Amino acid sequence: MSRRFPPVRVKSNVKSPSITPPQFSDMLVSCHQRTQPPRDCWGIVRMKYLREKCVMFRTTYLRTISLALAAAGCMAQATAAPSACVGLAGTADGLNQETAVSRAQSALDDYINQYKTENNLDAVTIRPKREEPQPYWRRTVTENMMYQPDIVTATSYTVCWRGVISPYVCTSGAQVCW
C-alpha cells in the first residue's frame, strides 16, 4: 500500500519581484518629444525600442521623400516645356491648288530638315502655325486675294492666294521646337 504525502508548501518572507513585459502604450510619442528616459527596470529595453522605431521612422520617411522627389523630377522632365521654338515657312506656286499646296508643304519639309542639320538638332516637335503669306512678286497680299479655306494638317498650316503669274501661290508654316 502506497502512502500519500500532502504537498509541501514552502512559505517565505522574501517576495520575488514581479517582472512584467514593458507596456509601450505610454511611449507612443514622437522621437522628438521624448525628454526623459523611463525610470524602471525595463528602461534600457524601452529606450532601445524607441531608438529602433525612431531610426525605422526616419529611414522610411527619408526613403519616401526621396522617392517622391525622384518621381516629381521625372514628371517635370517628361512635361518640360521645349527650350526654344522657331517659326518656319515654305512658299510654292502651281497651276491648281493641290499642286501649290503639296509643293509648299514639301518646301516646308525641306526647310525643316535643312534647319535641323544646320543647328545639329535630333528630335524636334513640329506643330502647325499660320505664317504670313510670302509672295514672290508683290509686297503684300490683301484679304480679297486669299483663297478659302486654309489647309491645316498635323504638321503645317497652309494659306493660299491668287498670284501675279501663277494662279495659285501657297505658304505653309510650322512651329519647330526642340
Q: H or E element: which one contains 160?
A: strand 157-161
Residue 138 is predicted with a pLDDT of 83
Residue 56 is predicted with a pLDDT of 57
How far, in Å, CA of 128 to CA of 114, rounded?
A: 18
Which residues on neighbouring strands pair with residue 54, listed in sequence order?
A: none
Q: State the alpha helices, DSSP H only, in 25-85.
A: 43-78
Residue 137 is predicted with a pLDDT of 83
At 127 the three-state DSSP class reads: strand
Which residue do the cell numbers 518572507 mark? Answer: 13
Please identify every stretch of the chain with a pLDDT value under 70, giving residue numbers as ranges: 1-62, 73-82
Residue 49 is predicted with a pLDDT of 56
Q: Which of 114, 119, 150, 118 is nearest to 132 (CA)?
A: 150
Mean pLDDT of the chain: 76
Residue 93 is predicted with a pLDDT of 93
